[in-house]
Amino acid sequence: MEEVIKQEERRLVEVYEAIERCASDRSASVAKHDARTRELEKERLEALGWREKNSITEKLVEHGHHDPRKYLPEFEQRHSPYFGVIGIDDSDRRIGKKEYLIGRQMLMDGNKVLIVDWRQAEISQLFYDFEEGEEYEATIRGRDREGILTLKRKIGIERKVLKRIETGSETYTVCGDGWRGSGDAAPSSADTKAEMSDHRMVDIVSLISAEQFRMITRNSSGCTFLSGAAGSGKTTVALHRLSFLQFQEPQLFRRERCLVLMFNRTLRDYVRKTSDDLLGDTRVDTFSAWALGAVHQLGLTVRTSFEDSFAPQKKDSRISGLLARYVAATKRMDPVLDLWKFYLEPTVSETLFADARQRDSFRSEIQGKIERKDRLVSFSDLSILLRLCQLRRPAESVVQGALNFYDHIVIDEAQDFAQIELEAILAATSARRSLTVCADDKQKILSFVDAEGFLKFRTQLNTLGLERETLSLSYRSGREIMELAAKVSGRHGEVAGTHGGIVRFHEAGDFAGAVRSLRQLVAERLQEDAKSLTAVICRKKADVKQVHAALQGIEGLHEEGGISFEPGVLVVNSHQVKGLEFTNVVLWNPSESEYRQSEIDTNLLYVAITRACKRIDIVHFAPLAKALRG
């Protein structure tokens, strides 16, 4: 133990010495370059003839090409410069024994690579794919290599201090009175979040599995479809894959021409910190926010509203074909008027509305908009308006941020997007049609979005050479939690879980008894770990209000209605939590009347259960939903 710790402490000291040398050398090079720039600018200012001025200008331009800021990037990972150490004994004696450090950014010490960027897959694959003592076979720089992995350690460094060393057989951690060894497994993402008191998605590049790493670094730049159970890492893989593509081929995947679209604002905020670290200035936003901006890029200004009595019909998968036929048969006009005219097409209203009174009400509303020259569109209209504008443009035209523009787009939770929305996103990609689509039909929770639309979109992607990947192992929830989720969903083949979890049922005689049990459970979770985040998940918004009021006085209770990623207690409804994770979940009164035996209610229940990392408590005073019994 002592020798391992001393070895890694020496290594860290040497790395920080190298970081300081590199920073000093870079500063000296930048200062020298800037001094020469000032000299040339002074000479140009003092030059008398235009020929002399032009000559000096050319020198300035040439000098600018050699700015050290371009080829000597500043090392930005000072607080945690690397997370892995591997040693190899290669069968090629010219290579022999070597050690590599794996981190989030490459570091050069003179002509020697001191830290390998994890996205340099030829080397980092040895860290992700093999265990200490295993024989490896890999292709590195075009050459087949084989040998033995003699060393593999995971390293935890926080604020420049060595905190954790994980070997194949032992884990050493810094405690209050020094180092301690144990056989404990590596910390989960929930532990990492609690340590940072920030429960947003964390950068788990050091925890990526071999399966995830293979998907992240696969040699494909077209359409990739990622599926898998809740907590299997679909979003994590998608974000890291985009980061890998941007690193490997920066000319093909320009950060400013890539886009990540999330299901809602909560999910966007949940991933934003990690996405900033991985993707820099790549835009991460909701579909609605992007679509509104795209419409503006197409030269259209509209007012928007969330209210729409006919939103479900506008999510119908048949809208796509109806719109394509309408565009082919009509001429271009003012886009908003064009949208209203499309809605008034007899085939549109007859297709979307089986009920004659509802059909007449819809047509009457649209006719009134035309007469008033109304430019107020709902967010359900927005996707159709965007697609209409795209179809009215020549097929080869490029519009920034709206049409044939993006090098790559990531779509998260795609199963709850309407077909017309997905087609508008696809049309916004460049001719290569490069997409990563994350979806899980067991987590579809919007009943008003036509499920046929996503199936049709997948069929459409197949013509573009869609490649499918399935993540099989859940990394979020403990085994017992995933077993309960599998019972609810019927997804028994994917029960996994890399650690243990706790599932407890608490039956009360009435609402008051359930509240007493809830208050006690919440207090216990906070007492166990003040940095944890516990979510009380209700079925409906009305329940949220009632339960939140019943929890008043509990220390750490967040405000009603919002979602914060700070430690404490949240009270939310099941529609709000998709894609998120919490240390603990309390499922509030999941009764048979609240979660019926429909596909959507079953999916909502599955989503709520799989938000829990360590523990789920089911508190109820009404008969349990059938899926939870027995």
The model's confidence at residue 187, banded by pLDDT at 50, 70 and 90, is: low
Provide the sign of the torsion angle of the four alpha carbons 52, 58, 62, 63, taken in this order.
positive
Mean pLDDT of 464-468: 87
Phi-psi region of 332 (alpha: psi -120 to 50; beta: other; left: phi over 0): beta
Mean pLDDT of 432-461: 91
Helix (H) or strand (E) segment spanning residue 249:
none
Q: Name the least confident of 190-199, 497-506, 612-621.
A: 190-199
Report the distance separating Cα 225 and Cα 40, nearest Å.
Answer: 54
| Top-confidence residue, 64 or 588 | 588
| Top-confidence residue, 50 or 327 | 327
**Whole-number pLDDT of residue 332:** 92
**Whole-number pLDDT of residue 606:** 94
Q: Name the least confident of 196-200, 360-364, 464-468, 603-607.
A: 196-200
566: amino acid identity, one letter: E
On the question of pLDDT at 480 being above 60, the answer is yes
Helix (H), strand (E), coil (C) string for 586-613: EEECCECCCCCCCHHHHHHHHHHHCCEE
* DSSP 8-state class, residue 399: B
Report the distance separating Cα 441 and Cα 420, nearest Å.
Answer: 18
**Whole-number pLDDT of residue 630:** 66
On the question of pLDDT at 495 being above 50, the answer is no
Assess contact for 532 and 189: CB atoms under 8 A.
no
Beta bridge partners of 322: none
Helix residue ranges per DSSP H, 429-538: 451-462, 479-489, 511-528
Report the distance separating Cα 206 and Cα 343, nearest Å.
Answer: 51
3-state DSSP helix/strand/coil % of the chain, to nearest 5: 45, 20, 35
What torsion do the CA atoms of 304, 309, 312, 317 make, to the nearest 10 degrees?
-70
On the question of pLDDT at 185 being above 70, the answer is no
CB atoms closer than 10 angstroms to residue 42:
11
**Whole-number pLDDT of residue 498:** 59
On the question of pLDDT at 496 being above 60, the answer is no
Determine the 3-state secondary structure of 162 from DSSP.
strand
Query: Cβ neighbours of residue 273 under 8 Å, at least 6 residues apart?
Result: 198, 200, 201
On the question of pLDDT at 188 being above 80, the answer is no
Q: What is the mean pLDDT of the chain?
A: 91
Assess contact for 557 and 535: CB atoms under 8 A.
no
Query: Cβ neighbours of residue 477 under 8 Å, at least 6 residues apart?
Result: 230, 231, 485, 497, 501, 609, 610, 612, 613
**Whole-number pLDDT of residue 183:** 59
Token pair, residue 396, equals 């080869």
CB atoms closer than 10 angstroms to residue 1:
12
pLDDT tens digit string along 131-178?
Answer: 999 999 988 888 899 999 999 999 999 889 999 999 988 899 988 778
Report the distance separating Cα 261 and Cα 555, nearest Å.
Answer: 35
Nearest to 203 by CA among 266, 272, 257: 272
Mean pLDDT of 370-387: 96
Assess contact for 396 and 404: CB atoms under 8 A.
yes
On the question of pLDDT at 492 being above 70, the answer is no
Mean pLDDT of 337-344: 97
Assess contact for 201 and 271: CB atoms under 8 A.
yes
- Outline where DSSP puts E strands in 121-170: 135-140, 143-158, 161-166
On the question of pLDDT at 464 being above 90, the answer is no
CB atoms closer than 10 angstroms to residue 143:
10
State phi, psi for 8 to the nearest 5 degrees.
-75, -30
On the question of pLDDT at 494 being above 60, the answer is no
pLDDT tens digit string along 220-269?
Answer: 778 999 998 888 889 999 999 999 999 999 999 999 999 999 999 999 99
Provide the sign of the torsion angle of the four alpha carbons 499, 532, 157, 179, taken in this order.
negative
Determine the 3-state secondary structure of 211 from DSSP.
helix
How far separated are the first and last CA of the chain, in Å rounded?
48
